[in-house]
Amino acid sequence: MSEILDHTFPTRLEGFKEGALLLIDKPLNWTSFDVVNKIRGTLKAKLQVRKLKVGHAGTLDPLATGLLLICTGKFTKKIDGLQGMPKQYTGSLSLGATTPSYDAEMEEDKQFPIDHITEELLQKARTKFIGQIEQVPPMYSALKKDGVPLYKLAREGQSIERKSRTVTIDTFDLTNIDLPNVDFLVDCTKGTYIRSLAHDFGAALDSGAYLTGLRRTLIGDYSVENAIGMDEFAEKMSVF
């Protein structure tokens, strides 16, 4: 577990150089790097510097929202420790179909029956994913093969064998069931792909599933309830 860093918004510009941790509520359709680049550009302009270290501690997909930890200045050295913290997500999945990306970014490519799926079957299948499990990352991911992100290869029609990884899921609760839609809450370790969890959950039901919504609510003891949106970030920066 990383040391707990103060995430109080700096009251002076130099505080961003000395080291700041910003809790950002990532907007829908923004990449994590979009957020980093926007914050870096704003800070560089305010500080009137050509270079400033800014990074994030854990990628969120463009279709996901929620907590993104942004480190600036000397706090970028803390990123590795922050990335290792456990995470919590809430989200939704749709049963009866799959997509190549395992989420709603792409069109459905296969359909499956769901008439046999009951709440009892859902709850039984859910328990198979609690504890240490082996998980294969999606082909549409930022993992790299010879320096090239897999999602770029996938868009070229290539499919690369991916090694499974061991992850730990402490909680996988189904919070609302309204077939074909299921809402859930997950507590998990670093490196867990919630899109893969949705895909594998569908397969365990002898059906298919893909992620339709995802929100990261916790990273360690940091909560999205204490995060600010990009509009609020801009407002706070306007006082400098």
Q: Which positions are annotated as active-site residues? A: 61
Task: Identify any residues that bridge with 166 across adjacent strands, giving them in sequence order.
Answer: 134
Give the C-alpha separation, 154 to 163, whole Å: 16
The amino acid present at 122, given as its one-letter code, is L
Task: Give CA angle at 90 (227, 171), nearest 5°.
Answer: 115
Residues 6+ apart with CB under 8 A from 67: 23, 24, 25, 26, 216, 217, 218, 219, 222, 223, 224, 227
